[in-house]
Each structure stands twice: as structure tokens, then as C-alpha cells.
Amino acid sequence: MNTFGLHTFAIAPVWDLDLIEPQMERLKGLGIGLLEIPLLRPEEIDTRRTRAFAERWNVELIPSLGLPASLDVGARPDEALAFLEPAFGVCEAVRSQALGGVTYGTIGKTSGRAPTEGEIDGMCRFLVRAAKAAKAHGLKLGIEPCNRYETHLINRGIDAARIIERVGADNIFIHLDTYHMHIEEESFEAGFRAAAPYLGYVHVSEANRGVPGRGMLDWAACMKAIADIGYTGAITLESMNHVDADIAGGLAVWRPVAENPDDVIGVGLPFLREAARKAGLQLG
């Protein structure tokens, strides 16, 4: 069984338990066993209340983030590591096992060209240090390939696998996202196969970030590819129903992703469970 997760952008623009908790009975009824925390500003997370909430509802937690645009992991790695340190602290305090997302760069920051050798070298040196810092908190560190419009550094599963092999840290994993894969991979089968040895987390997201099943994404091929590699980790719906202003620009989210935002939950979650079932996966 794969844990069924929900990125809380589907229901709230930030990690706001006053908005999230009233929806938990419904979400648990739909099989949700994990919530992803958008860790935009780590200092805003009430870790004690968050941990109590997770225990009360018996849900796993995984925070994720993208580095702020002011940071440069190659030129000023110390600043980026200083930003990650409180994020690692939040993960540890809420008893998460990992930090995911674009931990190697900024969402929406591109050079307009292929990454240079210097950029790759600098990113790898940074990830060596970031992985070591994460391990000091008992954490794994995810790196999420994103499409070419959001980063030029890591776009495909094979790119992420090569970076992990070069870095050599045993606590870095690949965090794939079907939205980005739909743009960048030759096929879901190729992307998941390339990432399989290091795959630790999966975002399932429609091609327009909206209601799963109402876009152009080939869900049968997607779920079959996940099943074929024997992946047993979390599968988390990410939809941009509500997005904090600090990240909306990088994601290019400026209009509603669904005519009826509630359909992302009410229609999308059952659709994903059924698509997974048809491929031989069980979400719950």
C-alpha cells in the first residue's frame, strides 16, 4: 500500500491549522494519511501544535520548500545552508522523516540556457553539505526535478539520479512530480524507471495543476509506471488551489486551476484512488 498524501495548497495558501483542521474528517474519509507542509517561512510554523494535530488525526507530515530567489547555492552556499537549518529544525520538531522540494535552487529562477559546469559543480558541493546537515537532524533530503520554465538545473528523473550519484550522500532521494514529468520526460515509464533507484516521494498533479482526470495527463500510463517499478512510498496530490504570494510568481499561478476548487478534493482524490487501483496500486 502507498500512503495517500495531499499537499495543503489544495485547501489553504499556507500551513494554517485553523483552515486545515475543519477539513480533516472529510480528508481522512477520502483516504488521506499524509499532509505536505509548504515550508515557505519556517519561523511561522507552530511545531508543537502541528505535532499534536498530526497525532490527533494520525497523519504523517512532510514539509517541502523551494529556496528563496535571493539565495545562490553556488556563489553563497553558507547563506542557503543557513536558510535550510531552521527548516530542518521544523521537520525534526514535527517528527517528519524528510524535507522535499526544490532544495537545490529557486522555483522560477532560470538562466535561459543549459546549466554550466560551474553551476552543476556548485550545486553538488552545496548538496553534499545540505545532506550532511539534514542527516544531523535525522532527515532525508529530497530533490525535485522541475520543468524548464521553473529551473534549468534539474529537469528530469535521469538528471536527478546523476546528481545523487555524483554527490554520493545516502540520505538524498528523488522527489518526482507528474506535472513536471508531463513536460520534460519522454514517457512516464522512462522517467520513473530512471529515478527508481533513488525515488522517495511522488507528487501526482494534473497537467494544468487542477482536478485530476480533467486535464491532458495520461493517468493510466502514470500509475502503471509507478506500479511497474515497485514503488511503495507516498503518492501525494499537489494542486495549486491556494498559493502563497511568495511562491505564486515562480509557479506562474495567476488564475484559478479549477472552476470549482472543491472538485480538486471531491472529484480528484477518488479519481486518483481508482486510477491507482486499475494499475494494481492501493492508496490509503
Residues forming the active site: 144, 238
Dist. CA 43–CA 202, nearest whole Å: 26
Task: Give the burial string for 154-186 (b: 16+ CB within 10 Å, else e).
Answer: bbbbbbbbebbeebebebbbbbbbbbbbbebbe
Element containing residue 142 per DSSP (H, E): strand 140-143
Dist. CA 41–CA 14, nearest whole Å: 9
* Contact predicate 87/99, CB 8 Å: yes
* Cα dist from 10 to 38, 92, 207, whole Å: 11, 24, 15
Dist. CA 131–CA 211, nearest whole Å: 34
Query: What phi, psi does 16 have (nearest 5°)?
Result: -125, 100
